[in-house]
């Protein structure tokens, strides 16, 4: 997403642009990431709601079943539609799409091993492209634990899951970050027996501590087995013809054997920085990522890097913002350094998680005096109407200026609600200003306004 966003903005600003891509246009997000995953989650969420249809006056839903092949077909049709749309935008913006693998030969020269007519890598000969400026947007790949090798059958990754038409009867998910909790949630809703293992003390460990507690309690209440502080030897995982077996236990506690049809490894991603020809430039690679400044400039003049390759926030919308910042810098436009405190984060498990800005733990660590406003979805009319009222909205504001410093949400559709907080923080709004803006009733958005009012103790409905 970062690469094509940068290409389109550069073309809009009058630059002549070549977009080099070895794989499919759209990259990880469109083909094996955000889009197919959320398509599956939409189906699993809908199925979960149907099974509780009697609460809404529906009859005859007890025998509802799921056709996962149809889910997979819908998933692919969505990907295909957006792929076609991107090719249309390439033409609309007069961007030259070059299918092949590019390697730097110095800062501003790229040698491309062209794909063949049938898409075979390297079968189409070579082409050398020179430009005044080059932006690297090479993305990332799934990674596993040392000694734990995915085979695509028993031990799988998210890439395998979003291209499969099979629902396992049981599943061990290793890693309870955003990817892990999304797949744990969706597979449970599809009827899979799920065990979720996390090495750290909490699920979604990068989120607000209270948010993590809500997610873990919700998962356990639904029947997902959650083990935090989980310890096991990755190299000792046993794979048989029928299942996968791991001996695992909490840190300092007794270990037990867990068997499942599959194990899904969700332990992060590795930036694609190898084999790019970076050694022919002054660009610096540290700890597996390309080093850049706030405007995406590497140490090599005219060479920029964005997205997962720089290892900041590995999120598609962040990569797109970084790409636009790089282009604005190249063209001399209004290129403000990227402020990662203004980048919203969204996780699509059930209940959903969304956040922006700093957490309470970070504010305490840095000695920042702050105030807290919190509002539960249980007190929100629209949440009770929809039957989804777990969670809350939390607003953190500076104790003296009242400026919003962070917003943390867990609950229904919060991945949509976080956009208001994003706009508020960009505009340096105060909590009072967010609360004073009128939120229509009955809507979930009222929870945001109420939480903001609660900073000063003025929430109306709590």
Active-site residue set? 441
In angstroms, the CA 422 to CA 302 distance is 31
CA angle, residues 381, 387, 388, in degrees to nearest 5: 85
In angstroms, the CA 171 to CA 361 distance is 33
Six-digit token pair at 336? 């403000």
Task: State the CB neighbour count (10 A cutoff) for residue 460.
Answer: 12
Nearest to 171 by CA among 102, 243, 222, 99: 243
Q: Where are the alpha helices (DSSP H) in 145-289?
A: 158-161, 178-189, 209-222
In angstroms, the CA 272 to CA 159 distance is 16
| Burial 28-57, CB ≥16 within 10 A → b, else e | bbbbbbbbbbbbbbbbbbebbbeeeeeeee
Six-digit token pair at 76? 């692919």
Six-digit token pair at 190? 């599809």
Q: Are 435 and 458 in contact (CB under 8 A)?
A: yes
Nearest to 12 by CA among 99, 94, 71: 94
Q: Where are the alpha helices (DSSP H) in 261-379?
A: 316-331, 360-365
The helix/strand/coil state of 394 is: strand
* Side-chain-side CA neighbours of residue 460 (13 Å): 12
Six-digit token pair at 420? 């208001």
Phi, psi (rounded to 5 degrees) for 355: -160, 160
């Amino acid at each position: 997403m970062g690469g094509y966003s940068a290409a389109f903005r550069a073309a809009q600003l009058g630059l002549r642009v070549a977009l080099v891509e070895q794989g499919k246009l759209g990259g990880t997000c469109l083909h094996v990431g955000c889009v197919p995953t959320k398509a599956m989650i939409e189906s699993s969420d809908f199925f979960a709601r149907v099974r509780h249809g009697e609460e809404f006056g529906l009859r005859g839903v007890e025998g509802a079943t799921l056709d996962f092949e149809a889910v997979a077909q819908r998933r692919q049709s969505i990907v295909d539609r957006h792929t076609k749309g991107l090719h249309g935008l390439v033409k609309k913006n007069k961007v030259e799409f070059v299918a092949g693998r590019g390697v730097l030969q110095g800062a501003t020269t790229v040698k491309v091993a062209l794909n063949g007519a049938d898409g075979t890598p390297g079968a189409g000969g070579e082409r050398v492209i020179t430009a005044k400026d080059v932006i690297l947007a090479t993305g990332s790949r799934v990674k596993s634990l040392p000694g734990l090798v995915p085979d695509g059958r028993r031990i799988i990754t998210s890439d395998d899951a979003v291209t499969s038409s099979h629902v396992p009867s049981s599943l061990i998910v290793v890693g309870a970050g955003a990817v892990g909790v999304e797949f744990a949630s969706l597979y449970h809703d599809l009827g899979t027996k799920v065990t979720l293992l996390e090495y750290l003390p909490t699920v979604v460990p990068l989120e607000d501590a209270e948010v993590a507690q809500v997610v873990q309690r919700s998962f356990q209440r639904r029947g997902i087995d959650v083990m935090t502080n989980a310890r096991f030897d990755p190299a000792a995982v046993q794979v048989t013809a029928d299942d996968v077996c791991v001996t695992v236990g909490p840190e300092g506690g007794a270990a037990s054997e867990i068997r499942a049809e599959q194990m899904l490894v969700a332990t992060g991603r590795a930036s694609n920085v190898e084999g790019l020809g970076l050694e022919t430039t002054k660009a610096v690679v540290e700890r597996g990522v390309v080093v850049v400044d706030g405007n995406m400039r590497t140490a090599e003049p005219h060479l920029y890097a964005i997205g997962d390759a720089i290892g900041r926030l590995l999120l598609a919308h962040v990569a797109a913002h970084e790409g636009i910042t790089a282009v604005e810098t190249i063209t001399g436009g209004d290129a403000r350094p990227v402020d990662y405190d203004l980048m919203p984060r969204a996780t699509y498990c059930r209940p959903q998680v969304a956040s922006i800005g700093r957490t309470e733990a970070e504010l305490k660590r840095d000695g920042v005096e702050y105030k807290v406003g919190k509002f539960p979805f249980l007190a929100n009319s629209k949440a009770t109407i929809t039957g989804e009222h777990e969670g809350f909205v939390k607003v953190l504001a500076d104790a003296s200026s009242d400026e919003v410093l962070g917003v943390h949400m867990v609950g229904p559709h919060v991945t949509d609600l976080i956009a208001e907080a994003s706009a508020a923080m960009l505009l340096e709004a105060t909590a009072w200003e967010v609360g004073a803006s009128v939120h229509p009733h009955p809507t979930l958005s009222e929870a945001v306004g109420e939480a903001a009012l609660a900073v000063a103790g003025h929430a109306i409905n709590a």
